[in-house]
Structure 1
């Protein structure tokens, strides 16, 4: 059986795509999967994170593999990597449907991180429409949710109006996520057992269930 390809896509900038991609990849690897990250974003933030991870942990101790790709090459690269890895996690660039589409076309599941505000949800619609057009399963991932504020009725209704499933697990607005990324790590490694770590691990389990693995 070929590996599952999880594309992290969101045309709206500032949604936390790279942080979600890195954390999800590490969580899947910690769960026993062979995982490769593919950076399709020309900004290269995920690549910088991975280089920091190699420096922090050692090149042979990252627990992950890493590749870069762009445009149509992302689809080809992802499918090829799927023959050797259990999970291929792709980080896509914001604002460009041309660059993101090949990675979406190759996906088993497209995870769409979005901040829990009506404006952010509305801005997510083009990404979801592109995913739906390709007939790929999607999952909205609420990111940077304020821990002391429950999702209001307005936001809950806005999520439903999008017509796409949302993950039951929400990632909190926690400084620990960004702080861990600076050293090429994740909150599961810098703050094991914390609420942030628990959230990421729960999201990884939820995505595994969505993929049937």
Structure 2
């Protein structure tokens, strides 16, 4: 049985794509899955995180496998990894549909992180259109949500206007998500049981449940 490929895609920069990819991979690994990360972003931020993880935990104790690819090589690499792993999490570059499309085409599910502002939601439209052309199932993931609780009516209306499904689980605007990355870790590892850790674990379960089949 082949593994599931989850691609993190968002053409708008600054959405928290790499942080989501790393956290999702660790959440899936901690739930018992064999997980590989595939970095398709030339900036290499996910690779830097993984190197920090090797330094923090040891080369053979990261719990994850890591590969890089670019362009159409992403599709081939992802499908190759799917023979040996339960989950492949792909981080894609912003501002490039040419580089992102193969990773979206290969995916069983695309997660689209977006900050809860009308401008960010409007700027997400090209990403959603690209995903729709490939016919890949996808979910918006509200990231860096303020702790007020419910989203404002303006934001809720903007989400509905996109006509696109969104994950019920929202990730809060928490310092621990970013600060943990500097050590090659995640909020689940530096502060297990925290609100941020629980949010990420719940989101991971929701994304797995959304996978076709």
- Equivalent residue for 2:31? 31
Alignment of 1:114-125 (within 5 A): 114-125=114-125
- Contact persistence 2:38–2:66 (CA under 8 A): yes
Alpha-carbon displacement from aligned partner over 1:45-72 (angstroms, at most 9, x marks no partner): 0000000000000111101000000000
Specify the alignment match of 1:195 in structure 2.
195
Change (3 A) 1:75 1:212: closer
**CA deviation vs aligned residue, 1:177-206 (integer Å, no higher than 9, x gap):** 111000000000001100000000000010
The answer to whether 1:157 aligns with 2:157 is yes
TM-score, normalising length: structure 2: 0.98
Are 2:7 and 1:16 aligned? no
**Following superposition of structure 1 onto structure 2, how do residues 87-126 of structure 1 map, counting pairs within 5 Å?**
87-126=87-126
SS of 1:83 mapped into structure 2: coil
Deviations 1:98-128 (A, max 9, x none): 0000000000000000000000000000000
Distance 2:39 2:108 in 1: 17
| Corresponding position: 1:207 with 2:204 | no
Once the two structures are overlaid, the 10-residue window that deviates more, 59-68 or 146-155, is 146-155
Instruction: Report the 3-state secondary structure (helix = DSSP H, G, I; strand = E; otherwise coil) of the residue aligned with 1:111.
Output: strand
Of the structure 1 ranges 203-212 and 50-59, higher mean CA displacement relative to structure 2 is found in 203-212
Bigger mean CA deviation after superposition, 128-137 or 155-164: 155-164
Within 2, Cα distance between the matches of 1:92 and 1:138?
15
Give the RMSD, CA atoms, in angstroms.
0.9
Cα offset, 1:150, TM superposition:
2.7
Deviation of residue 212 (structure 1)? 5.7
TM-score, normalised relative to structure 1: 0.98
**How many angstroms does 1:87 deviate by?**
0.3
> Contact 2:40 / 2:90 at 8 angstroms: preserved in 1?
yes
Report SS of the residue matched to 1:205.
Answer: helix
1:85 maps to 85
Task: Show structure 1 runs of 4+ deviating over 4 A.
Answer: none
Q: 1:161 Cα shift?
A: 1.2
Report the Cα distance in structure 2 between the residues aligned to 1:147 and 1:51, rounded to whole angstroms.
Answer: 32
Give the paired residue count: 213
Q: Is the 8 A contact 2:108 2:212 kept in 1?
A: no
Q: How does 1:111-190 map to 2 (within 5 A)?
A: 111-148=111-148, 150-190=150-190
5+ unaligned residues in a row in structure 2: which ranges? none
- Offset from partner CA, 1:24-81 (integer Å, 9 cap, x none): 0000000100000000000000000000000000111101000000000000100111
Q: 1:78 and 1:97 mapped to 2: Cα distance?
A: 18
